[in-house]
Structure 1
């Protein structure tokens, strides 16, 4: 038994493996999360400080023809990823901070395997981070919010994924169609850097997690060694052909010529 495991037992907190990344491509991160959710019984927190390559991430049931300005996407060769969970379509880049919690159900008693219950639980973790900074809450259909989130449930694990915009580039919002209320991306996503420095936000998040878990820092090498066999991911990168076919089904007034 390691020292951290001994401390976890003494404190009565479950063990949480903490992986901190910097600029890891979002496709690689999402595929790692899918693998851990479906193959590991441990608790994980993954924090990725930005993604070096800007990309568009869609939910598992998202349709490019209904969600994207495909002309500009093709013209600028922006990667489009279909993730393994539900949720909205978002643009991510170096200004985005990603925080994912993957927990065994036994480690979070009282949390039901339903999206609203998982979101309420993860909201408790962030309540201390945002204390005193205004009405920042993880909830649906708010006028202004610091993150987009997706939830997933497996037989033994729960996942809560959130992306926080620290320095969103307005120019990149040309790749998304207007949402159903007629507002563009910048109208309902705010920049957290106006309220909290990037490093402080990450540190405060880790501190909040430490009130519920005994945190064990780890790295990609240790994960690769412990997980072993290859895993077939459902998180995929859409091909140019798929995007061109979606573009052909859009009204001619949408997007630009390519």
Structure 2
């Protein structure tokens, strides 16, 4: 049986799962199942994903968002996740933090995109106290440079909010991403390299993870769980919609043949 400890009894219970190098495709599928088939609150922290991958929102169009020829040539996996939002390339230098909560988990929080976004920024204010951290539109920034992108999905009784934090990034990987048509106003037509910054410039990696857990513990009673316990908590059957796009789909998209995407109720938050 896995060892765990519970802190801050009296607060709502949050199951805390810490992972390292867990494949992002598997993480997203797990998150989707926990949203649909669990009645518990979860926080998943994944310290990097071993292999580079591009992750797109549920309604993202590869021909508009990706340099598909380069993606195919370099065999970069492209994942369509179950939440809304934009596109990011992730790797071992990305730190992922996800909240999956019942609608009554945070007292007074209305289950809509902006209130959830605002609440999460207050959590991270505690992590980045003393820096020029801000919530700018739907991004986490230092000053006017983005280092954290967010996406959400809201169901009848639960919601998920997940963030990809750029601890660092490979400059050459940004070439796989096109300049999106829809961008936040504060971007001001800047290129990816001028628009982004790295979290490593502000805080050691382990310090960021430790401070994030400390901030969560001011809001919840945390119970540490192992990955197997996530699986064991699931009830019923649900086949995740998160999936890898096929080579044929990408080739079709490169030919500018549009394909309809199955949409669910998601918030359209740029990642």
Question: Same-fold call, TM > 0.5?
Answer: yes
Gaps of 5+ in 2: 182-187, 258-271
- TM-aligned CA deviation for residue 187 of structure 1: 2.2
Separation in 2, partners of 1:12, 1:224: 26
Other-structure match for 1:237: 244
Separation in 2, partners of 1:67, 1:192: 24
Other-structure match for 1:73: 71
Separation in 1, partners of 2:122, 2:61: 32
Select the residue among 225, 228, 250 that pairs with 2:232.
Answer: 225
Separation in 2, partners of 1:190, 1:239: 31
Which has the larger displacement, 87-96 or 103-112? 103-112
Residues 48 and 214 of structure 1: CA distance in aligned 2, closer, same or farther (over 3 Å): same
Which has the larger displacement, 232-241 or 179-188? 179-188
Listed as ranges, the matches of 1:157-236 within 5 Å are 157-180=158-181, 182-227=189-234, 230-236=237-243
Other-structure match for 1:45: 43
Other-structure match for 1:85: 83
Residues 138 and 129 of structure 1: CA distance in aligned 2, closer, same or farther (over 3 Å): farther
Q: Deviations over 1:200-246 (max 9, x none)?
A: 00000000000010110001111222326553011010000000001
- TM-aligned CA deviation for residue 190 of structure 1: 1.0
Other-structure match for 2:97: 99
Separation in 1, partners of 2:136, 2:24: 21
| 1:159 match: secondary structure | strand
Contact kept? 2:138, 2:149, Cα under 8 Å: no
Which protein has the larger Cα radius of gyration, Structure 1 or Structure 2? 1
Give the ranges of 4+ consecutive aligned residues of structure 1 lying more than 4 Å apart after TM superposition: none
Other-structure match for 2:56: 58
Separation in 1, partners of 2:203, 2:56: 27
Separation in 2, partners of 1:229, 1:106: 22
Q: Which has the higher contact order (CA 8 A, sep 6+)?
A: 2
| 1:128 match: secondary structure | helix
Separation in 1, partners of 2:12, 2:247: 44
Q: Deviations over 1:29-78 (max 9, x none)?
A: 00000000111111100000000010000000000010000010000000
- TM-aligned CA deviation for residue 138 of structure 1: 5.9
Contact kept? 2:37, 2:236, Cα under 8 Å: no
Number of aligned positions between the proteins: 246
Of Structure 1 and Structure 2, which has the larger fraction of its residues in helix?
1
Separation in 2, partners of 1:50, 1:189: 18
TM-score normalised over the length of structure 1: 0.90
Separation in 1, partners of 2:206, 2:68: 34
Gaps of 5+ in 1: 251-258
Q: Deviations over 1:59-114 (max 9, x none)?
A: 00000010000010000000000000001110101000000001111111221221
